[in-house]
């Protein structure tokens, strides 16, 4: 059996796909993974063959960004990225025709190729899938006079003429699903997950060895570990640590703070004796030893924490993270959600104390993690792909 995987350029999306690709290769599937040269080391660790295509740039937004609202431009961005990618992948897919194309939910080029070549398509969702209880698109304005929307429509019409398939309207770009789909959420975490039926396999966190594993060792004093990470995009916030340190300095715990590339430890003033800072952490390894997680509520980090049964408190930085944090509240796995403007030394102490002292959050997180181990994972996701293709 041959498979081709088409990602989008985001590192987080690519990382989420690689454990399943590793398991497909272990099961005897020949996988061509289409990605930029910069991803070679990560892709080749899986045993897949890297098929190089250029770094896809969001240059189609250039004439419009700053002149129109972001939501007006974003359909053109994704169609423009597809236009750059499709020519680079069609030759390889035609010469080494796979039995199935697996495409990231946002990799429009993967859909175009599948339609043109008549190859079965599986879509991989590394965040929320569209359904009756969740949509990133349905509340957007129409933008009837937007030049960017008009340019996107013209490009969509060209794509339909050349590749077939439905017209790639904004709704079709952001709400499409395939006949079979893999999600890196659990069915319980996906809003309305019970309504998705057998067309979706909810695999949960995709866990496999990563570069950097073995570079960190947990403290040997046996105390609980609080791990803090504000993600990779909005972490340049030194004031946060100046509020956090007075809260944790007298607690009988270890604290590990992932600072990111912008903050230097010397910028933070006096660091308490029980606090360790690192620019970057091997997060999967750290979470295996973590008792409590202060997180930005990125859905990938949340799934990785649940895989390890770790309860959390949330400081989300953007809309999807805010949605995820409130979903965590509904499921009872976070002691609280603080928006950036709500973070003070007092509010941190209140939410963190609740997290440490109330065992209910840990019990719920461990129960969800155990269910993820039983029902999902990269091995089961790979087998679901194989079973689906064999049924065709």
Delimit the domains of the chain by residue range.
Answer: 2-206+377-391, 225-373
pLDDT reported for residue 61: 61
Count the residues in the chain. 392
pLDDT at 66 over 70: no
Residues whose CB falls within 8 Å of the CB of residue 102, separated by 6 or more in sequence, listed in order: 3, 4, 5, 6, 17, 110, 121, 122, 123, 124, 182, 385
Contact 183, 129 (CB under 8 A): yes
pLDDT reported for residue 137: 82
Indicate if 225-373 has the same CATH topology as 2-206+377-391: yes
- Alpha-carbon distance of 62 to 79, in angstroms, equals 14
Pairing of strands 121-125, 225-229: unpaired
- pLDDT tens for each residue of 297-342: 999 999 999 999 999 999 998 888 999 999 999 999 999 999 999 9
Which tokens is 72 given?
A: 């007006």
| CATH domain 2-206+377-391 topology | Rossmann fold (3.40.50)
Q: What confidence tier does 34 reach under pLDDT thresholds 50, 70, 90?
A: very high
pLDDT at 235 over 90: no
- H-assigned helices in the chain: 11-26, 40-44, 70-95, 108-117, 147-163, 170-175, 238-248, 283-287, 299-307, 319-331, 345-357, 360-375, 378-391
Cα–Cα nearest to 245, from 224, 274, 225, 219? 274
Superfamily the domain 225-373 falls into:
Glycogen Phosphorylase B; (3.40.50.2000)
Contact 120, 99 (CB under 8 A): yes
Which tokens is 131 given?
A: 């359904």
pLDDT at 270 over 90: yes
pLDDT at 156 over 70: yes
Burial 154-181 (b: 16+ CB within 10 A, else e): ebbeebeeebebeebebbbbbbbbbebb
Phi, psi of 206 (to 5 degrees): -100, 105
- H-assigned helices in 207-257: 238-248
* Average pLDDT, integer, range 364-389: 95
Which tokens is 53 given?
A: 């295509």
């Amino acid at each position: 059996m041959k498979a081709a995987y088409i990602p989008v350029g985001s590192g987080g999306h690519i990382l989420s796909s690689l454990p399943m690709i590793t398991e497909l290769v272990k099961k005897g599937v020949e996988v061509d993974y289409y990605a930029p040269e910069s991803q070679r080391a990560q892709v080749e660790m899986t045993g897949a063959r890297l098929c190089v295509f250029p770094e896809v740039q969001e240059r189609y937004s250039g004439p419009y960004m700053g002149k129109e609202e972001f939501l007006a431009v974003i359909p053109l961005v994704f169609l423009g990225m597809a236009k750059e990618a499709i020519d680079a992948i069609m030759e390889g897919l035609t010469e080494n025709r796979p039995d199935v194309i697996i495409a990231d939910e946002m990799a429009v080029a993967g859909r175009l190729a599948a339609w043109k070549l008549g190859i079965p398509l599986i879509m991989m969702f590394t965040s929320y899938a569209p359904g009756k209880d969740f949509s990133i698109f349905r509340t957007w304005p129409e933008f009837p006079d937007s030049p960017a929307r008009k340019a996107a429509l013209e490009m969509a019409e060209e794509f339909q003429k050349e590749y077939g398939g439905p017209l790639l309207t904004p709704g079709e770009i952001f709400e499409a699903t395939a006949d079979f789909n893999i999600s890196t959420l659990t069915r319980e975490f996906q809003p309305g997950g019970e309504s998705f039926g057998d067309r979706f396999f909810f695999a949960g966190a995709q866990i496999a060895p990563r570069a950097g594993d073995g570079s960190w060792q947990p403290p040997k004093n046996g105390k609980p570990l609080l791990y803090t990470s504000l993600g990779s995009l909005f972490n340049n916030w030194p004031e946060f640590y100046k509020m956090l340190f007075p809260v944790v300095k007298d607690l009988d715990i270890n604290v590990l703070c992932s600072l990111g590339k912008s903050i230097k430890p010397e910028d933070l003033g006096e660091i308490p004796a029980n606090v360790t800072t690192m620019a970057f952490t091997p997060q999967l390894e750290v979470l295996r030893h973590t008792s409590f997680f202060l997180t930005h509520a990125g859905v990938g980090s949340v799934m990785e924490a649940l895989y390890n049964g770790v309860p959390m408190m949330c400081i989300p930085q953007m809309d999807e993270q805010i949605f995820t944090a409130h979903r965590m509240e509904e499921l009872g796995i976070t002691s609280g959600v603080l928006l950036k403007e709500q973070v003070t030394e007092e509010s941190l102490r209140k939410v963190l104390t609740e997290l440490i002292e109330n065992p209910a959050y840990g019990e719920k997180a461990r129960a969800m993690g155990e269910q993820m181990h039983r029902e999902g994972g990269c091995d089961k996701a790979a087998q679901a792909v194989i079973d689906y293709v064999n049924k065709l």
